[in-house]
Copies of this chain bind each other. A is one copy, B any other.
Amino acid sequence: MEIKRRAEEIALIYSGLQKEICQKLEQADGKAEFTEERWEKEIGYGITCAIRNGAAIEKGGVNLSFVKGQFTAQMERLLGEKANNYIATGISSIMHPVNPHLPIIHTNVRFFSLDNGVQWFGGGIDLTPHYIDVTEAGNFHRQLKQICDQYSPVFYPRFKKWADDYFYIPHRNETRGVGGIFFDRLKPGEEISFEQLLAFTKDLALAYAEIYSNIVREKRSKPFSAEQKAWQELRRGRYAEFNLVYDRGTKFGFESNGNAESILISLPPTSAWEYKHQVKQDSAEQETLRLLKKDIDWINL
């Protein structure tokens, strides 16, 4: 009961954050507004905020979910914990922009609680430019580092590497974008308290909206060609590949019989696949492909 109440309190806090994120992004877009829908299934409930056909944001979603279920044998194996039931609550969001010079952005913060008393936080933010802009990537990482450093000096280096490893498409031998931070199973203990961890995830969720709003304002009017739009479609195809083949949130959602429409709001509005697409020598597209690699120190590049 204590466990459930705590998870419900966090869901309430996260649903407040969800509203703030939507407000900020609506302001940045200036045209489209989020619709809000609540779903309920056996597994729990969620609130899905969706935006489409904005001036800057072509398609996006900000999801809140609160789900409960049996802690299966598979979860035990994967997570190395023994328990009967779990409760999980989190926010997950992705924005796909109109302009190919704007990046795709994604965040997720989540709280996971077992009935054996073990609980942890997880989350991350990552940026997927269609065209990599090293200044933007550096600023992005600098802002994430600043937030991390307020909680622990080991967070940024650890979580930056984790993001490089997680947001990676093995079959393409490419990172999904310029990375960011990713972390999971961060438990309260001697080094950091429960309250601090909760505050860390709150800071990240708000930074997500702030960071993207600034990028949108800066680049939304940059002119683009039909060729650049076509390149964006191909990169969106890669994004769909990552989300459908590797993303753990998507897998967990499907396996726990979650709400498919809400889970797949992450998919791009449109995308394209071409067999053996070739980029031109010394083009911006080639430069982007060259930089889709792990272990780039974006801050000091």
Which residues from chain A sit less than 8 Å from chain B, CB to CB? 37, 48, 50, 52, 59, 61, 170-172, 233, 237, 240-241, 244-245, 254, 260-261, 263-265, 267-276
Contacts and interface: CB of A to CB of B under 8 A. Distances in A.
Given A233-B270, A267-B273, 11 more contacts: A50-B275, A61-B275, A171-B263, A172-B260, A240-B244, A240-B273, A241-B264, A244-B245, A264-B273, A269-B273, A270-B272
A188 B289 CA distance: 48
A272 B269 contact: yes
A241 B267 CA distance: 10
Nearest to A260: B171
A267 B50 contact: no
B261 A276 contact: yes
A258 B264 CA distance: 27
Nearest to A262: B275
A233 B271 CA distance: 9
Contacts of A254: 170-171, 245
Contacts of A48: 275
A265 to B, nearest CB: 5
B275 A261 contact: yes
A173 B272 CA distance: 25
B271 A271 contact: yes
Top 8 A-B pairs ranked by shortest CB distance?
A244-B244, A267-B273, A171-B260, A50-B275, A270-B272, A171-B254, A265-B275, A244-B245
Contacts of A269: 272-274
Nearest to A170: B254
Contacts of A264: 171, 241, 273
Nearest to A259: B171
A235 to B, nearest CB: 13
Given A254-B245, A260-B171, A271 B274 contact: no
Nearest to A245: B244
Contacts of A271: 240, 270-272
A52 B277 CA distance: 12
Contacts of A171: 254, 260, 263-264
Contacts of A267: 237, 273
Nearest to A96: B273
Nearest to A277: B261
